[in-house]
Structure 1
Amino acid sequence: MEEKLISAVANHPELYDASCYCYRDRNKKDLAWRHISEEIGQPEDICGRKRKSLRDTYNKEKRTEKEKRSGSAAGSGRRWKFFAVMGFLDPFLTPRETSGNMVRTVGDFSPEDQGQSEEAAGECQSE
């Protein structure tokens, strides 16, 4: 069912291509889901939830591929079975910017900054 759903969604860019004019047309999207539902033989809401689940899994796999380590910590290297099929989404998915609430630590400073802080620490100790 998943492969049929993926190929059916790929044939309807109004569902995933935000640059497409039809992407903003709710009626065209509903009609596309109706066609997909008939093609797959499942209700529209199930098709939509399954598509979202597949897209989220694809995003997760893309992130883990990007963060993949080398050497002994690399892991098994097995790919998700729908990874290649979902590749049509690549131009339309943009990773979110990450941010954190952590402050910079001593290890985050440049070597010049560390040298200055060591000098300042030495001055405090001599007094």
Structure 2
Amino acid sequence: MEETLIEAVRQQTAIWQITSHSYRDIRVKENAWKEVARELDISVELAMKKWISLRDRFVRELKKTTHRVFGDSGPPTTSSWKYFEILMFLADTMKHQQKAGFNSLFTSSDKMFDECDGTANQLVLGET
């Protein structure tokens, strides 16, 4: 199911591509999440929660591969997490957000728009 979710989200650039105008359009983003949920036959809330978990794990894995431990002269490590390679389409977006000062991306919490009632929910996901 995770690979299907990743592919469904990848096709909905309004969800993840921050340079797209549709990324900032709440209605477009709502519809994108509804389409992802429909494809997987799950609720929008569950699709979002699973995506945030996958994305947050990807961010942690990406940080491990790009940052060396102080004093380590060896090459950066690589990730053995099975979804790392298929989520690499997010790498440029992560770098762009970090440069823009959105360092909160590198935490395991995320504010997402709740399609049901129009409020922002704070979703805090534990380490996996």
Which TM-score applies when normalising by structure 1? 0.66
Residue 18 of structure 2 is aligned to residue 33 of structure 1: no
**Aligned twin of 1:88:** 89
Write out per-residue CA displacement over residues 49-102 of structure 1, whole angstroms, 9 at most, x where no aligned residue: 11011010000001111235669xx99x661000000011111112439xxxxx
**3-state DSSP of counterpart to 1:80:** coil
Question: Matched residues in 2 for 1:28 and 1:78: separation?
Answer: 33
Which TM-score applies when normalising by structure 2? 0.66
Question: Matched residues in 1 for 2:92 and 2:82: separation?
Answer: 20
Question: Matched residues in 2 for 1:15 and 1:83: separation?
Answer: 18
The structure whose residues are more often strand, as a share, is 2
Question: Matched residues in 2 for 1:92 and 1:44: separation?
Answer: 23
**In percent, how many aligned pairs have the same letter?**
27
**Aligned twin of 1:17:** 17
Question: Gaps (5+ residues) in structure 1?
Answer: 98-127
The structure whose residues are more often helix, as a share, is 1
Residue 46 of structure 2 is aligned to residue 46 of structure 1: yes
In structure 2, what residue type is equivalent to 1:34? K
Question: Matched residues in 1 for 2:93 and 2:47: separation?
Answer: 20
Structure of greater Rg = 1
